[in-house]
C-alpha cells in the first residue's frame, strides 16, 4: 500500500478558534498568533514522535497489535517498509502542520545483519528523510539512538558490565549523532533506556556511574568535533524498564552532571509522565531545571493518577500544562527545545484518523496552556505576591545573611537583643489556585 494513507483528512488542519465544532480543526493552536512577543509556533515548536505514532501497532505486554497501520505490514522488505513508513509519517506531518519530528535511529531505519549494514540502512534512510524535510519544511527537533530494544542491551548500554557493549553503544551513538547533525537537528537526546539496575547483588553501582560519565564525555567531545551546535539532552526517568534508573529525576541528573563536570555541556529533556513517576509535578521538574540552568526540551504527555507506569497519554489537562508553561515562561522560554508528543494512542483507538485527533487535542491543550501562562505572567498576579513574600531578604538582615556576613553568634545576638518574635503569614494557596482556575476559564 502506498501514500496517501490519511484519506479521511483531505485538508491541512487549520485554526478555527474556540467556537469551532469541527473535530479536525485547532481551537487554540494558532501558529502565527503572537504571545509574549513570540509566535505560538516558535514558543512551542511542536514535534511528533516517530516511534509511538509510526512504529507502533498497538501491541502491549498482554496482546498483539490492534491499530490500523498498513505501513507496518510484515512480509515486506524492511527497507521498502521503512520508506513506506516515512511517506506515511511525512504525509501526517504535512497535514497536521507540525514543525518538527523526533526519531530513534531504529525507528527510521531497520537494524541490519551487521553493525555496518545497520549504519548503511540509517544513512540511506537519512537521505530519504532529508528529501522529505526539504520538500515539506518539517524540521528535526531531536534524534536519539535506541540503546534499549536489542537483547545486547539487556544489562544496559554505557553501564553494561561488558565494555564490548559500551563500545557498540558508542559506535551507534556516533552514527546517530552524525545523522542528527546532517538533518539539522536542534538537539540530541539520551534517555538512559536500561542505564540502571535490577539487583545490587550483581551490580557495581559506582563503576556503572563512572562508565556513564565517560560515555557522556565521549558524546560531548564528538559533538564538538563535528561542529554540531544543537544541545545534548538527558531525559530523566526514575524506573521502567529497570527497577532503578540512574537518571532518576532532574535533581539526580543535576548532581550527576556536576560530579562528572558536564553541567555546561548537557541540558535536560523533561517528560511529564516521567516527572509524575518520580513523585513530582511536571512544573516542579521544570522549575528545578530552570533553577539549575538546565532546561532543554519537553516530552509532552500525561500519566494516570491511579496507574504507576508510563502510560504516555496525550495531554488533556490545560490546568496542569499551564503550571508547567508558567515555569517555562518564567525561565525565559524554550530555545533549542520544543514540545514533543512522546505520547501513545489508547490501544482501542484503531483508526488512522485517531492519530490526528490525539495530536490536535495535545496541541490545543498546550497552546491553551501557553495563553493562560502568558497572561498570568503578564498580569504579575503571582510575581507580585512572591516579591512581597520574600521582601525581607532585600532588607539589611536578609542581604547580610546571604552575603555571609552574619554568623550563628551574630544572629543569636540579633534575636536576643531585639527580643524578636516573627509572625507566620498566610501562604494564600487556595486563593492562588482559584486564580489559576479563573485564567484557565477566561483566557481567549
Ligand atoms: C521512554 C521515553 C523515550 C525517550 C526517547 O520512556 O520517553 O521514548 O523519549 O528514547
Ligand atoms: Co520521552
Please report the sign of the dihedral spanned by the C-alpha atoms of residue 102, residue 299, residue 96, residue 373. negative
Q: Which of 30, 105, 107, 312 is catalytic?
A: 107
Report the pLDDT value the prediction gives residue 122, as an integer from 0 to 100: 98
Residue identified by cell 497519554 is 313
Asked whether residue 311 carries a pLDDT value surpassing 90, the answer given is yes
| Residue 397 alpha carbon to ligand 1 centre in Å | 47
Asked whether residue 442 carries a pLDDT value surpassing 90, the answer given is yes
- Contacts for 200-209: CB closer than 8 Å, 24+ residues apart: 204/161, 208/156, 208/159, 208/246, 209/159, 209/246, 209/256, 209/259
Instruction: Please state, for a pLDDT cut of 70, what percent of the chain lies above it.
Output: 100
Here the cell at position 175 is 552514527
Q: Over the chain, what is the mean pLDDT? A: 97
pLDDT average, residue stretch 286-305 = 96
Asked whether residue 300 carries a pLDDT value surpassing 90, the answer given is yes
pLDDT average, residue stretch 84-89 = 97
Task: Give the HSE-up count for residue 341: Cα atoms under 13 Å, Cβ half-sphere.
Answer: 32
Asked whether residue 342 carries a pLDDT value surpassing 90, the answer given is yes
- Mind listing the pLDDT tens digit for each residue in 188-217? 999 999 999 999 999 999 999 999 999 999
Please, are residues 241 and 266 in contact by the beta-carbon 8 Å criterion? no
For the Cβ of 342 lying below 6 angstroms from any atom of ligand 1, the answer is yes
- Mind listing the pLDDT tens digit for each residue in 106-157? 999 999 999 999 999 999 999 999 999 999 999 999 999 999 999 999 999 9
Concerning whether 107 is annotated as a catalytic residue, the answer is yes
- Mind listing the pLDDT tens digit for each residue in 33-57? 999 999 999 999 999 999 999 999 9
For the Cβ of 27 lying below 6 angstroms from any atom of ligand 1, the answer is no
Phi, psi of 162 (to 5 degrees): -105, 120
Report the pLDDT value the prediction gives residue 3, as an integer from 0 to 100: 84
Report the pLDDT value the prediction gives residue 76, as an integer from 0 to 100: 75
- Taking the C-alpha atoms of residue 270 and residue 278, their distance in angstroms, rounded to an integer, is 12
Report the pLDDT value the prediction gives residue 75, as an integer from 0 to 100: 72
- Mind listing the pLDDT tens digit for each residue in 220-262? 999 999 999 999 999 999 999 999 999 999 999 999 999 999 9
| Residue 410 alpha carbon to ligand 1 centre in Å | 51
Q: Which bound ligand lies closest to the C-alpha atom of 50?
A: 1
| Residue 56 alpha carbon to ligand 1 centre in Å | 13
Among protein residues, the one whose CA lies closest to atom 5 of ligand 1: 191
Report the pLDDT value the prediction gives residue 309, as an integer from 0 to 100: 86
Report the pLDDT value the prediction gives residue 78, as an integer from 0 to 100: 96
Domains in the chain (CATH in brackets) are 34-379 (3.20.20.150), 383-442 (no CATH)
Q: Which bound ligand lies closest to the C-alpha atom of 240?
A: 1
Here the cell at position 109 is 531505519
For the Cβ of 237 lying below 6 angstroms from any atom of ligand 1, the answer is yes
Question: Which residue, among 90, 175, 73, 88, has the nearest Cα to 124 in the 3D structure?
Answer: 175
Report the pLDDT value the prediction gives residue 53, as an integer from 0 to 100: 98
Report the pLDDT value the prediction gives residue 2, as an integer from 0 to 100: 80
Q: How far is CA 149 from CA 40, 85, 152, 192, 424, in A?
A: 36, 19, 8, 12, 54
Among protein residues, the one whose CA lies closest to atom 7 of ligand 1: 342
Amino acid at each position: 500500500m502506498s501514500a496517501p494513507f490519511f484519506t479521511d483528512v483531505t485538508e491541512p488542519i487549520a485554526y478555527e478558534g474556540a467556537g469551532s465544532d469541527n473535530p479536525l480543526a485547532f481551537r487554540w493552536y494558532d501558529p502565527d498568533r503572537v504571545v509574549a512577543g513570540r509566535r505560538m509556533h516558535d514558543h512551542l515548536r511542536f514535534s511528533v514522535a516517530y516511534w509511538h505514532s509510526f512504529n507502533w501497532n498497538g501491541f502491549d505486554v498482554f496482546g498483539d497489535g490492534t491499530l490500523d497501520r498498513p505501513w507496518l505490514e510484515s512480509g515486506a522488505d524492511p527497507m521498502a517498509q521503512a520508506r513506506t513508513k516515512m511517506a506515511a509519517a511525512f504525509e501526517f506531518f504535512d497535514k497536521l502542520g507540525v514543525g518538527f519530528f523526533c526519531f530513534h535511529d531504529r525507528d527510521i531505519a531497520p537494524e541490519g545483519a551487521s553493525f555496518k549494514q545497520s549504519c548503511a540502512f540509517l544513512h540511506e534512510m537519512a537521505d530519504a528523510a532529508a528529501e522529505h524535510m526539504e520538500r515539506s519544511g518539517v524540521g528535526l527537533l531531536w534524534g536519539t539512538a535506541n540503546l534499549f530494544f536489542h537483547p545486547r542491551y539487556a544489562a544496559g548500554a554505557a553501564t553494561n558490565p561488558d565494555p564490548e557493549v559500551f563500545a557498540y553503544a558508542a559506535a551507534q551513538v556516533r552514527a546517530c549523532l552524525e545523522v542528527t547533525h546532517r538533518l539539522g537537528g536542534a538537539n540530541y537526546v539520551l534517555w538512559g533506556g536500561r542505564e540502571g539496575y535490577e539487583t545490587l547483588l550483581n551490580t557495581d553501582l559506582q563503576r556503572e556511574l563512572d562508565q556513564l560519565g565517560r560515555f557522556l564525555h565521549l558524546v560531548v567531545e564528538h559533538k564538538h568535533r563535528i561542529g554540531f551546535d544543537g544541545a545534548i539532552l538527558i531525559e530523566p526517568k526514575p524506573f521502567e524498564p529497570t527497577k532503578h534508573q540512574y537518571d532518576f529525576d532532574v535533581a539526580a541528573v543535576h548532581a550527576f552532571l556536576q560530579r562528572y563536570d558536564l553541567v555546561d555541556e548537557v541540558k535536560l529533556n523533561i517528560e511529564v509522565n516521567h516527572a509524575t513517576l518520580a513523585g513530582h509535578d511536571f512544573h516542579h521538574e521544570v522549575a528545578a531545571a530552570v533553577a539549575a540552568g538546565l532546561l532543554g526540551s519537553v516530552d509532552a504527555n500525561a500519566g494516570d493518577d491511579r496507574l504507576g507506569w508510563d502510560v504516555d497519554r496525550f495531554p488533556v489537562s490545560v490546568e496542569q500544562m499551564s503550571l508547567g508553561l508558567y515555569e517555562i515562561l518564567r525561565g525565559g522560554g524554550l530555545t533549542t527545545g520544543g514540545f514533543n508528543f512522546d505520547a501513545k494512542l489508547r490501544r482501542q483507538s484503531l483508526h488512522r484518523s485517531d492519530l490526528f485527533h490525539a495530536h490536535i487535542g495535545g496541541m490545543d491543550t498546550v497552546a491553551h496552556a501557553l495563553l493562560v501562562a502568558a497572561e498570568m505572567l503578564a498580569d504579575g498576579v503571582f510575581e507580585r505576591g512572591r516579591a512581597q513574600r520574600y521582601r525581607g531578604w532585600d532588607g539589611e538582615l536578609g542581604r547580610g545573611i546571604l552575603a555571609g556576613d552574619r554568623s550563628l553568634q551574630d544572629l543569636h545576638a540579633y534575636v536576643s537583643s531585639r527580643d524578636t518574635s516573627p509572625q507566620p503569614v498566610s501562604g494564600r494557596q487556595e486563593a492562588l489556585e482559584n486564580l489559576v482556575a479563573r485564567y484557565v476559564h477566561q483566557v481567549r
